[in-house]
Amino acid sequence: MRLLPAFFLTLSLLPSLAGNWPNWRGPAFDGSSKEEGIPETFSPTENVLWQAAMPGPAASTPVIWGDSVFISSTEAGSDKLLGICYDRKTGAERWRKEVAIGARQDDRSTPAGPSPVTDGERVVFFFGTGDMAAYDFSGKELWKKQIQKEYGSFAFLWTFSSSPVLHGGRLYLQVLQRDTSFDGNGSMRGKPGGGNESYLLSLDPATGKEQWRTVRPSDANAEAKESFATPMPFSFGGREELIVAGGDCLTGHDALTGKELWRTPSWNPERIGHWRLVPGAVAGDGIVLASAPKRAPIYAYKLGGNGLLTESDLAWSSSDEVNSKDVSTDVATPLFYQNRFYVVNSDRKSVSSVDPKSGKLFWEYRVEGGVKIECSPTAAAGRIYFQDQRGKVTVLAAGDEPKLLHQSDFGGPAEKDIRSSIPIAEGCLFLRTNSTLFCIGKKS
């Protein structure tokens, strides 16, 4: 009997992960889950199984495996960066680790922006300081490393917040940054004199040792070289890829070697310098979305291409006359669910439902009142979930018509800059504000 390589064995096990939420975009890396039995209505006093006080603000999303909930956080009143494990059934804190020390670099975010990731054997925490650590489920430290010390100082204007990805026996991290040093908010960023490289990193999850490092260049200018997106594994046409967003383009890489397979043309031919990228790629139905920032269009490319993609590889763009110019996202990564793309426009406070193949706009729903929405949407049981920056949660129906199903406020005037997505696992929603983690589910 021929043994399957670990990468393909992992892919064959994906359906069994439906009850877990192992990374910030879920078991299928597209924001969706197959979970059912989620309460139709909920509030801070309704259908809350438990809640846990957060030690400090953070934009990271919880990840869930079995009976363990992992979350990264700051600690209010100190510069401690924490990795925490909670019991999924009771909300009891199992363990708390001080992974690193790191002060804020700006007034909009903390170093606890990246989400942790788990493969069922270990959990890896990463912070915008470059500190990375792996623990087993009992809280035993397996290894630690400091990415900036090993590969050079980060060159980002805002706090670096790409999340690591565990997939196919590899731990991936993308670092897409400026190639020059500069003064950012009063401190020098990047290597003295410049020469910073953008790169993809593959590490051994068991040891943290480098498997490969691939330089990922771009023709972008200044801040537009910076990406806060997370790489996305995807399988198409028998090819296992890692899709990377940043530097004014998407690239597809061989997931085993890091070799670049294809690249989209720049969505910024004028080379505007402040077009940093936050939303990551999402793929489905043979299409991958490239989300240009700052109210620029969405570009939908056919998967399976090679080299520099051309106009024939472009399925559609939201700049086309037949599509809505308002289908755009500056921060939220789009969702793929039930053969539709759902795109959150943070400035319009809207959600657009789009056909993957043609770009046809099925509907747009505008959220009344509230503040900006920078949370990436998630979905399960025929519903779409997201929250705004002050913790107002909105639930929409996934389907042919825009339909508001539920809204509830979990934040309040004191909350701000909430960006955590809402993971879905074991029939529950895990909703994180700056002050509290709520587990929402049906009480037995």
SS (H, E, C) 216-244: CCCCCCHHHHCECCCCEEEEECCEEEEEE
Read off the CATH number of the domain in which 260 is found: 2.130.10.10
Write the secondary structure of the chain as one string of H (helix), E (strand) and C (coil): CCCCCHHHHHHHCHHHHCCCECCCCCCCCCCECCCCCCCCCCECCECEEEEEECCCCCCCCCEEECCEEEEEEECCCCCEEEEEEEECCCCCEEEEEEEEECCCCCCCCCCCCCCCEECCCEEEEECCCCEEEEEECCCCEEEEEEHHHHHCCCCCCCCCCCCCEEECCEEEEEECCCCCCEEECCEEECCCCCCCCCEEEEECCCCCCEEEEEECCCCCCHHHHCECCCCEEEEECCEEEEEEEECCEEEEEECCCCCEEEECCCCCCCCCCCCCECCCCEEECCEEEEECCCCCCEEEEECCCCEECCHHHEEEECCCCCCCCCCCCCCCCCEEECCEEEEEECCCCEEEEECCCCCCEEEEEECCCCCCCCCCCEEECCEEEEECCCCEEEEEECCCCCCEEEEEECCCCCCCCCCCCCCEECCEEEEECCCEEEEECCCC
Q: What percent of the chain has pLDDT over 70?
A: 94
Kindly report, residue by residue over 81-135, the tens digit of the pLDDT.
999 999 999 999 999 999 999 888 777 789 999 999 999 999 999 999 999 999 9
Tell me how far apart the alpha carbons of residues 178 and 392 are, in angstroms, rounded to a whole number.
35
- Contacts made by residues 1-8, CB under 8 angstroms, sequence distance 24+: 6/168, 6/169, 7/167, 7/168, 7/169, 7/170, 7/240, 7/255, 7/256, 8/168, 8/240
CB 392 within 8 A of CB 46: no
Tell me how far apart the alpha carbons of residues 123 and 102 are, in angstroms, rounded to a whole number.
20
Q: Supply the pLDDT for residue 325.
A: 72
Residue 2 has pLDDT above 50, yes or no: no
Under the banding of pLDDT at 50, 70 and 90, the label for residue 14 is very low
Tell me how far apart the alpha carbons of residues 277 and 156 are, in angstroms, rounded to a whole number.
11
Under the banding of pLDDT at 50, 70 and 90, the label for residue 322 is low
pTM: 0.93
Residue type, 188: M
CB 293 within 8 A of CB 337: no
Under the banding of pLDDT at 50, 70 and 90, the label for residue 9 is very low
Tell me how far apart the alpha carbons of residues 311 and 208 are, in angstroms, rounded to a whole number.
40
Under the banding of pLDDT at 50, 70 and 90, the label for residue 193 is confident
Q: Supply the pLDDT for residue 361.
A: 94
Q: Supply the pLDDT for residue 195.
A: 82
Residue 1 resides in a domain:
no
Residues 6+ apart with CB under 8 A from 120: 20, 22, 65, 66
Residue 196 resides in a domain:
yes
> Where is pLDDT greater, at 106 or 198?
198
Residue 390 resides in a domain:
yes
Q: Supply the pLDDT for residue 102.
A: 87
Kindly report, residue by residue over 238-289, the tens digit of the pLDDT.
999 999 999 999 999 999 999 999 999 999 999 999 999 999 999 999 999 9
The mean pLDDT of 432-442, rounded to a whole number, is 96
Q: Quick one: how far is CA 274 from the chain centroid?
A: 21
Kindly report, residue by residue over 373-400, the tens digit of the pLDDT.
999 999 999 999 999 999 999 999 999 9
Q: Supply the pLDDT for residue 323.
A: 55
CB 153 within 8 A of CB 190: yes
Q: How many domains does the chain have?
A: 1
- Which residues form the domain of 310? 6-440
Residue 156 resides in a domain:
yes
Under the banding of pLDDT at 50, 70 and 90, the label for residue 414 is confident
